[in-house]
Structure 1
Amino acid sequence: MIRDLHNVRVRPEQGATTPLTEEEEQRVRAVLFSELGNEIADRGWARFPAYTPEERRRLVAVAQRLTTYWGRQVTVEAEDQTRLRLSLAGFEGYEALPKA
């Protein structure tokens, strides 16, 4: 008996990541837009992990979308190797990371 396999993907090598489909990417960006947008609206800034270049590009795209949506500049800056900080331009009221 032969069985057809549907929606089966080849597993990536150990430690490798698979790129998101276009639909998955849109969903992730929509969630980030909503969650980070709410946090920035409440506090003026948000901190989010970004371990890969794809994650960093995604956060920059979310910041650009928030800028367009609000009509106010949302800036992105690296706090360390694994975190980005999104904030309203000129917002100074946040607790900075301790310097190591």
Structure 2
Amino acid sequence: MTRDLYNVRPVGPGTGPTPLTSDEEQRARATLFTELGDVIADRGWARFPAYSPEERRRLVAVGRMLSAHWGIPVTVEAEDACAMRLSLAGHALGAQGTH
């Protein structure tokens, strides 16, 4: 059976995900702060996917938050086009390579 779809229009190529509200952004950063902070505290570094400039900026902000919280610099580096690496001194991407 074929159904007719009314008031349905194709989506143009320029449409992407909507940006997060300030409350959603704050919750996302708080979650990343906790989750990535735990991993970094355990092994000295963490890898996290970042496919858009917004995601990369969010991870850089989380790295700054962790640095301020711990009083120890947390470096944030791009591993490749799809991932960022947050690490403590001695665990930087240039220092040891990838794990």
Task: Measure the CA separation in 2 of the matches of 1:76 and 1:90.
Answer: 13
Tell me the TM-score normalised to structure 2 length.
0.79
By percentage of residues, which structure has more helix?
2
User: Where in structure 2 are the equivalents of 1:30-41 lying within 5 Å?
Assistant: 30-41=30-41
Alpha-carbon deviation of 1:43? 0.5
Equivalent pairs counted in the alignment come to 86
For 1:1-56, what per-residue CA distance to the aligned partner results, in whole angstroms no more than 9, with x for missing partners?
A: xxxxxxxxxxx856501000011000000000000000000000000000000000
Task: Measure the CA separation in 2 of the matches of 1:58 and 1:67.
Answer: 14
Unaligned runs of 5+ in 1: 1-11
Quick one: which amino acid aligns to residue 32 of structure 2?
L
Tell me the TM-score normalised to structure 1 length.
0.78
Which position in structure 2 is the counterpart of 1:66? 66
Alpha-carbon deviation of 1:91? 2.1
Percent sequence identity over matched residues?
A: 62
Contact kept in structure 2, 1:45 and 1:94, CA below 8 Å: no
For 1:32-83, what per-residue CA distance to the aligned partner results, in whole angstroms no more than 9, with x for missing partners?
A: 0000000000000000000000000000000000000000000011111000
Unaligned runs of 5+ in 2: 1-10
**Greater CA radius of gyration, 1 or 2?**
2
Task: Measure the CA separation in 1 of the matches of 2:32 and 2:12.
Answer: 28
Task: Measure the CA separation in 2 of the matches of 1:62 and 1:96.
Answer: 21
Match of 1:96 among 82, 85, 98: 98
- State the secondary structure of the residue aligned to 1:75: strand
